[in-house]
Amino acid sequence: MNREVALNRLRSEPFDCLVIGGGAVGAGIAVDAANRGLRVALIERDDFGSGTSSRSTKLIHGGVRYLEQAIKTFDRTQFSLVRDALRERAILLSIAPHLCRPLPIVTPLYNPLHIPYYLTGLKLYDWLAGKANIKPSRFIDNREALVRFPMLKPKGLRGAVVYFDGQFDDARLNVSLILTADQQGAAVANRVELIGLLKQNCQLIGAALRDTTNGNEWELEASAIINATGPFSDSIRLMDDPMARPILSTSSGTHIVLSKAFSPPDTGLLIPETEDGRVLFLLPWLNHTLVGTTDNPAEIVHDPKATADDIAYLLHHLKKYFSIPVSEDDITASWSGLRPLVSNTTQSDTAQLSRDHIVNVSTSGLITVAGGKWTTYRKMALDTVNFAIKSKGLTAPRPSQTEKLALFGAKHFTPNIADQLTQDHGFDSDIADHLARAYGDQANVVAELASNGLSKRLTEDQPFIEAEIVYAARTEGAMSGIDALTRRTRLGVLDHTATRNAAKQVSDILGKELNWSAEEMDKDYINTVTSLD
């Protein structure tokens, strides 16, 4: 992916579709539309996946909580949402096997009356998945539950239900989608913002754009303009129509990261009901333990932070279920993300709002897709492109093929890539495993860079290496230390102390690759460190 080539196209070509937003949904739309043969442009004002799409719970799932709500309220919409998400779960496991994996999840039960309730509910979850089900859920007694998850408090444990969902690396999957869109012929560029919408006879005909790296501005012609900016969707709608009524409510979800000692390597934990009726997950992820999430009404801000209250909430519920002590001192990283929820003016609790999505069009023709969740990004994209083709009279040479389209890094991926990397390049096993899972069939490209003097680890006890920073800049559009450390490698969301220690090294590598001055390297280092505060 070459940003300068993409910018030249954005400045000189007309497009069928301009996609605003480079998160999961925007990237998915670009993949779908370009795959059909449409002329596609995508812009992202910050970095690809820098918002909600890199701050999820890392689960590809139908949503056991949504299923419970559907049963309690007899809500057919929620049933459909869960069924569709389970189908999309299977598709993602197929088209991005390097970044996605099945994960068994234990639901511990301390009340014997809960056993038939949760077992029946999770069997219904299996049934809704149909042929796409990963493995059947089942009840296990308290002894097996403690073998599967030894950290649980044994006192009063009656057993558990084990069910299966999918787990993934959200930011790297977002990058894979962007690279796939580029492969399919889309012009994609980060650090490009929308500064105005162009109209003729009250109908949209294009957009005014600005390159935030140098301030250059230009106009782009597009038949369909698609607003896929997640929590910021209403701000784009107001740019189009100052009288537009909001269609979203926003909630925040905080996550904390602990060491791998707090979870088995291949089993997650679902805390089925917190004191306020929500659910929490504790999951093994990238050799750490991920805990989340909260669900509170939130203001829309560019970079939300985890609050002390949210962190205390998560720790409080862990202590109720854990036999080993856990405290704030055990936290290696924390973050918060915003969820765009389709508004219901009669509902004040964001935890109860639907994760379904809508496609909305304004009188001037601005198409907005909002709501949904990571798992259903592909269906959201499919629905949006279908709508754009119909409403704008576009001609697509081919039907959508994204259900079978292997994403970037997946086409030639095999599970033995890690062994080949160790054999051919002499990597330690943890580095080889990481490169295979993060880059798929492109891992050898990173390995070749490493063989040219870039094999040093970024930090002693993590598998990330210097070659990844160069690859991130050359191939994946990384333009800052934050991009490289947080969304290309994942050190920035796993260990804040290690990230601070690696930041100078990363800024220097990027500076050499991107021809920065010494002052620019220092500025990037400072920005990276302060972003973690």
Confidence of residue 346 (pLDDT cuts 50, 70, 90): very low
Q: Check the CA dihedral 403-404-406-410 and report its sign.
A: positive
Question: Residue 316 is inside which H or E element, if any?
Answer: helix 308-321
Distance CA 72, CA 313 (A): 26
Model confidence pLDDT, tens digit, residues 358-406: 899 999 999 999 988 999 999 999 999 999 999 999 999 999 999 999 9
The most distant pair of C-alpha atoms in the chain lies apart, rounded to whole Å, by 71
Model confidence pLDDT, tens digit, residues 25-65: 999 999 999 999 999 999 999 999 999 999 999 999 998 88
Q: What is the mean pLDDT of residues 301-326?
A: 91
pLDDT number for residue 297: 84
CA distances to 61, 84, 144, 167, 339 from 105, in Å: 11, 20, 13, 11, 23
Question: Residue 519's CB: how many other CB atoms inside 10 A?
Answer: 9
pLDDT number for residue 127: 94
Model confidence pLDDT, tens digit, residues 405-421: 999 999 999 989 999 99
Candidates 519, 531, 489, 530; CA nearest to 506 is 489
Tokens linked to 253: 């979800």
Candidates 320, 367, 235, 272; CA nearest to 67 is 272
pLDDT number for residue 347: 39
Distance CA 350, CA 354 (A): 9
Tokens linked to 494: 């796993």
Percent of residues, the chain, with pLDDT higher than 70: 98
Distance CA 432, CA 281 (A): 28
Q: What is the mean pLDDT of the chain?
A: 93
Three-state SS string over 400-460 comes to CCCCCCCCCCCCCCCCCHHHHHHHHHCCCHHHHHHHHHHHHHHHHHHHHHHCCCCCCECCC
Q: What is the mean pLDDT of residues 128-133?
A: 93
pLDDT number for residue 518: 96
Model confidence pLDDT, tens digit, residues 427-465: 999 999 999 999 999 999 999 999 999 999 999 999 999
Kindly tell me the burial class for residue 267, based on how many C-beta atoms sit within 10 Å of its own C-beta (0-12, 13-18, 19 or more).
middle
Model confidence pLDDT, tens digit, residues 239-255: 999 999 999 888 889 99
Distance CA 191, CA 194 (A): 10
pLDDT number for residue 351: 39
Model confidence pLDDT, tens digit, residues 252-302: 899 999 999 999 999 999 988 777 777 899 999 999 999 998 888 888 888
Candidates 20, 30, 365; CA nearest to 183 is 30
At position 417, the amino acid (one-letter code) is: I
pLDDT number for residue 132: 92
pLDDT number for residue 343: 74
Tokens linked to 142: 């308290």
**Contact of 447 with 421, CB cutoff 8 Å:** yes
pLDDT number for residue 51: 92
CA dihedral 81, 25, 96, 30 (to 10 degrees): 130
Flag whether pLDDT at 124 surpasses 70: yes
Only one residue has tokens 């998160």, namely 23
**Contact of 254 with 334, CB cutoff 8 Å:** yes
Question: Residue 468 is inside which H or E element, if any?
Answer: helix 466-474
392: CB partners within 8 A, 6+ apart: 16, 223, 224, 365
Chain-centre distance for alpha carbon 191:
19
Confidence of residue 350 (pLDDT cuts 50, 70, 90): very low
Distance CA 289, CA 286 (A): 8
Name the pTM for this structure: 0.95
Q: What is the mean pLDDT of residues 205-231?
A: 97
Strand partners, 100: 168
